[in-house]
Amino acid sequence: MPRSPVTSEPQYLKVKNHLREGIASGHWVAGDLLPSEGALVGLFEVSRMTVNRALRELVQEGLIERVQGVGSFVAQLHRISSTLNVRDVHEEILERGHQHEARVQALTKGKATPQQAAELGLKRGAPVFLSLIVHLENGVPIQVEERAVNPACAPDYLAQDFTQITPTHYLLQVAPLSEARYMIEAALPGEVEARLLGISRRDPCLVVKRITYSRGVAVTAVRLTHPGGRYQLQGSFSA
């Protein structure tokens, strides 16, 4: 279960992020009953008003539904279809008539953190493949790609030359996509992200978190961080 981090963020955000991260990781799926207001009050040691604000904002974002006298449920997100495809950044850049370059910062085998384990359906500490890559457009960094990969789905992942083929392109070849889950947010970059993108820690970024599946098995969880002034996410939605 996701845990609330010890930070200086407002109390209602701790509650909100706890629920949102649990939904994003698949701990709670569409239709699941979320912890009651009373349970959240006790867990975070906050007021009922604080919990209500967190729940209200999640309703406004379309992530949960509240039923009077019953409780809060994860929204039936499948009611909305999206044409936001899993796209290869290399192809995006070429379509603009520009040059793509990838710089591999790390490519290694590690042990799954609790979050990675939850996202990929693995046990905590299980082997996981990790990569950190910076993508440049005409020599300018536009994306930091932090990726964890399920070794069972792509056993040869670490043997690839990701300056010549992107992880997205390779993984779509070896583990055909059947489902993807997104979360998109505005956020400030971490120290490593800011350094790799050549921006300030105060510069806003567009962050896309995505988990992709092949035949019901989680293949990869990736965090894509883009400088807000250098990147636009395009797509369309229909009800």
Kindly give the interhelix angle for 11-24 and 37-44, rounded to the nearest 10 degrees: 120
Please report, in tens digits, the pLDDT of each residue of the chain (239 residues total). 555 444 456 889 899 989 988 887 778 887 889 999 999 999 999 999 999 999 998 888 778 888 888 899 987 644 333 445 567 888 888 888 899 999 999 999 999 999 999 999 999 999 999 999 999 999 999 999 999 999 999 999 999 999 999 999 999 999 988 888 888 888 899 999 999 999 999 999 999 999 999 888 999 999 999 998 766 555 444 43
Domains of the chain as residue ranges with CATH:
11-79 (1.10.10.10), 81-238 (3.40.1410.10)
Distance CA 40, CA 34 (A): 10
pTM flag (> 0.75): no
Distance of CA 216 to the CA centre of its chain: 18
- Check if the beta carbon of residue 219 is closer than 8 Å to that of residue 149: yes
Question: Which tokens belong to 206?
Answer: 């567009």
What distances in angstroms separate CA 70 from CA 37, 49, 59, 73, 207, one per listed residue?
Answer: 11, 18, 15, 9, 34
